[in-house]
Structure 1
Amino acid sequence: MLIRPAEPADFTAIADIYRDGVLHGTGTFDEVPPTASALQARWQEITAMNLPYLVAVEGDNIIGFAYASPFRQRVAYRYGVEDSIYVHPDHKGAGVGKALLSALITACTEGGFYAIYAVIGDAANTGSIRLHETLGFEHTGTLPRAGYKFDRWIDVIFMMKTLRPMDGPAEGTGWAI
């Protein structure tokens, strides 16, 4: 498996992976799968802010993707990012998510960010919760019944990993360019 930056040609496969998450999972609160071109437009916005957008490749196949995006849009949040990770259903449990999240953490640390946040849809999403715990994220809170999908209320779990000390003034520009 190879982890590399996403490229424009990857977005048909990325859209297929995300479609599965939208239609069958609660990790995203999207209910209608976006098109490959809509996902590519998001990628352009993310990479224009110098944030990482990665894919996991096995042979010629994209088997997962991950990216960092602004946690919130207000400029005061610019030193922290939110992670998003999706793995092809045929490759779940095979270490793809861990490889992607590890690479994303490295890229965000090298990018000068102070923290990376996980906003996990569904308290029952134990795979994502355990993945984040394994890589040093701490549970920081729960929003009970934050979303409604598949005819049920869904909690949102917040987790955080500190990437560098936060005991002094922030340095660098963060994602705000």
Structure 2
Amino acid sequence: MLEEEYQPRRALPRHLRKVLPAETPFEYSLRDATAADLPHVREIYNYYVANSMVTFDEDQMTLREWRSKFEYLSKLGMPFLVAESQSGQILGYALVSPWKQKRAYRFTVENSIYLGPASTGKGLGRVLLAQLIERSTNAGLKEIIAVIADQGAEASLRLHFEFGFEEIGRMGRVGFKFERWLGTVLLQKSLK
């Protein structure tokens, strides 16, 4: 080999170097969801219906169904949050809903957190879950249940464990989606 092959490459002068744009920080605010947010919430949720196993829904939810759900949760005083970008785009949402319809379950809720595909992996789920737990506590709720798919939802499982959720059970082969059987992992967190 020639000696010149071992020479380090020389850097271009500054005025000839390509300048890369600075990465825009991921900024957002959290607020209570409004009826005007529901088309965006529906779009985020329906992405997961069509493309993942994290929800067992196979049919996309309509705006009418989301409006009905929103009115029901609002009537019950259940927390329903959205994360909004500075430009007004809904990046994700988090909500709790009654675990069961029987009155004795009124202090126990199930959580749901969904992020737009471009908002994953940036810590937003962690922020939404923290705020959802705080608001659920302030609303007088006592237990939060998370029902998480046993395949394809590893990040969700990790997140819930980080927040002190404990595994309370598993159900195998209770859902069938995308030509495969799926189970669920049940997690629970007691609120103060």
Whole-Å Cα distance in 2 between the matches of residues 79 and 86 of structure 1? 23
Structure 1 counterpart of 2:138, from 92, 103, 110: 110
Q: Tell me the residue number matched to 2:189.
A: 161
Partners of 2:71 and 2:149 in 1: CA distance: 24
Deviations 1:37-56 (A, max 9, x none): 32121111111101011101
Q: Specify the code of the residue in structure 2 equivalent to 1:50.
A: G
Alignment counterpart, residue 148 of structure 1, candidates 162, 176, 179: 176
- Deviation above 4 Å: which 4+ runs of structure 1? none
2:136 aligns to what SS in structure 1?
helix
Amino acid at match of 2:30: I
In structure 1, list runs of 5 or more residues that go unmatched.
165-177
Give yes or no for the alignment of 1:85 onto 2:98: no
Structure 1 equivalent of residue 160 of structure 2? 132
Query: Aligned letter for 1:131?
Result: L
1:88 to partner: Cα distance: 0.3
Give the structure with higher Rg (CA).
2
Normalising by structure 1, what TM-score?
A: 0.89
For this pair of structures, how many residues does the alignment match?
164
Structure 2 equivalent of residue 74 of structure 1: 102
On the 8 A contact 1:27/1:120 being kept in 2, the answer is: yes
Contact 1:11–1:37 (8 Å) recurs in 2: no
Instruction: In structure 2, give the amino acid aligned to 1:119.
Output: V
Does 2:34 correspond to 1:2?
Answer: no
Residues 153-162 or 30-39, more deviating: 30-39
Counterpart position of 1:171: none
CA drift at 1:95: 1.1
Give the distance between the partners of 1:16 and 1:124, measured in 2 at CA.
20
Q: 2:54·2:152 contact (CA, 8 Å) conserved in 1?
A: no
CA distance in 2: counterparts of 1:18 and 1:32, whole angstroms = 11
Report the equivalent of 1:63: 91
Unaligned 5+ runs, structure 2: 1-27
d(CA) in 1 for partners of 2:155, 2:79: 23
Q: Provide the aligned C-alpha RMSD in A.
A: 1.0
Q: In structure 2, what is the Cα distance between the partners aligned to 1:56 and 1:37?
A: 22
SS in structure 2 of the partner of residue 69 of structure 1? strand
Structure 1 contact 26–122 (Cα < 8 Å) conserved: no
Residue 140 of structure 1: how far off its partner (Å): 0.9
Identity %: 37
Question: What amino acid is aligned across from residue 170 of structure 2 in structure 1?
Answer: T
The Cα of 1:15 is off from its aligned counterpart by 1.0
- d(CA) in 2 for partners of 1:47 and 1:63? 21
Cα distance, 1:27 vs structure 2: 1.6
Q: 2: CA distance between counterparts of 1:46 and 1:36?
A: 15
